[in-house]
């Protein structure tokens, strides 16, 4: 078995691939780690930075030993056993991603929820989704983008209302509304952008019924509310139907920094 040890990196790092003689190796394993997310990148042709999980980086000064052998290939059926490799001599490790301790230069998918929530026959405000945002997910000076909050109405015409809140607990009690939109469309995607600075979250008028603040923010002032990035937070969405026959499907939520 060929091994290669990585050490002395004093910042968070993610190994994308391993090469020998300028040829990418497949069937690489870890002797001292069980980082399956990283192995998935090393042993594939993935090259999309947005697919890297936030918690998959090795911490500073972590010593990692890579292994490469045909035995590893035979034991891990997810990797092709039809690939023939040249005789190993030395493994060169490619480290295209090396980020500071806060891992902030890269855009992160904070939330990517495609699991639908359906609501019918309810005329009071009802929590549709709650998204946990761990402490230090964002920097003190950062951006929070609600890239897409998608809804589809079926069964009947009429309008419904969406509210978006933030809170430090998973509850609407003392939650702060940061977006709202009342709509009668069959298909809608709400978008918002917020700046995080000096302990505050700032965005276009939190109480204005706006579908997209990039297009609909004319003549609307900015709103602000305290937002501590060093503690756990929740982003909570709610629905209220104004026609009890209709069905509303909240089908998508994507949040990035």
pLDDT tens, residue by residue, 177-217:
999 999 988 998 999 999 999 999 999 999 999 888 877 65
d(CA 206, CA 215): 15
Instruction: pLDDT band for 20, please (50, 70, 90 cuts).
Output: low
pLDDT for the residue numbered 165: 97
d(CA 107, CA 101): 15
pLDDT tens, residue by residue, 219-230:
678 899 999 999
Instruction: pLDDT band for 246, please (50, 70, 90 cuts).
Output: very high
Greatest mean pLDDT among 111-115, 180-184, 234-238 = 234-238
pLDDT for the residue numbered 44: 77
Identify which of 191, 132, 190 has the alpha carbon closest to the alpha carbon of residue 161. Answer: 190
Instruction: pLDDT band for 100, please (50, 70, 90 cuts).
Output: very low
Q: How many helices (H) and strands (E) does the chain have?
A: 2, 19
Q: What is the CATH number of domain 109-256?
A: 2.60.120
Instruction: pLDDT band for 85, please (50, 70, 90 cuts).
Output: very low
Q: pTM for the complete prediction? A: 0.60
d(CA 236, CA 103): 25
Burial status of residue 256 (CB atoms within 10 A of its CB: 0-12, 13-18, 19 or more): middle
Instruction: pLDDT band for 52, please (50, 70, 90 cuts).
Output: confident
What is the distance, to the nearest Å, from the Cα of residue 165 to the centroid of all Cα atoms in its chain? 18
Instruction: pLDDT band for 172, please (50, 70, 90 cuts).
Output: very high
Neighbours of 64 (CB within 10 A): 19
d(CA 62, CA 90): 21
Instruction: pLDDT band for 253, please (50, 70, 90 cuts).
Output: very high
DSSP string, 149-169: EEEEEESS---EEEEEEEESS
* H-only helix segments in the chain: 36-42, 70-75
The residue whose two tokens read 């059926």 is 77
The mean predicted confidence, pLDDT, of the chain is 79
What is the distance, to the nearest Å, from the Cα of residue 180 to the centroid of all Cα atoms in its chain? 22
Instruction: pLDDT band for 72, please (50, 70, 90 cuts).
Output: very low
Identify which of 117, 94, 120, 90 has the alpha carbon closest to the alpha carbon of residue 4. Answer: 90
Which residues are CB-contacts of 82 (< 8 A; sequence separation ≥ 6)? none
Q: What are phi and psi of 147, to 5 degrees?
A: -70, -35
d(CA 64, CA 131): 33
Domain boundaries, the chain: 2-98, 109-256
């Amino acid at each position: 078995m060929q091994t290669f040890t990585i050490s002395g990196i004093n910042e968070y790092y993610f190994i994308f691939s391993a090469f020998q003689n300028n040829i990418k190796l497949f069937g690489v394993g870890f002797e001292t780690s069980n980082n399956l997310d990283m192995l998935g990148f090393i042993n594939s042709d993935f090259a999309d930075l947005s697919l890297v999980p936030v918690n998959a980086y090795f911490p500073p000064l972590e010593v990692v030993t890579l292994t490469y052998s045909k035995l590893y290939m035979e034991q891990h059926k997810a990797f092709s056993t039809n690939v023939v490799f040249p005789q190993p001599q030395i493994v060169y490790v490619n480290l295209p991603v090396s980020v500071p301790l806060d891992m902030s230069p890269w855009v992160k998918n904070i939330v990517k929820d495609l699991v639908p929530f359906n609501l019918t026959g309810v005329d009071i405000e009802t929590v549709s989704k709650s998204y946990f945002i761990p402490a230090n997910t964002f920097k003190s000076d950062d951006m929070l983008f609600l890239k897409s909050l998608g809804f589809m109405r079926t069964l009947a015409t009429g309008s419904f209302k969406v509210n978006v809140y933030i809170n430090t607990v998973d509850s609407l009690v003392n939650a702060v509304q940061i977006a709202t939109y009342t709509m009668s469309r069959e298909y809608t995607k709400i978008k918002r952008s917020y700046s995080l600075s000096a302990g505050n979250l700032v965005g276009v008028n939190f109480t204005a019924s706006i579908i997209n603040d990039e297009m609909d923010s004319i003549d609307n002032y900015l709103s602000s509310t305290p937002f501590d990035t060093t503690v756990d937070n929740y982003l909570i969405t709610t629905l209220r139907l104004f026609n009890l026959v209709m069905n509303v499907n909240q089908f998508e939520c994507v949040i990035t920094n």
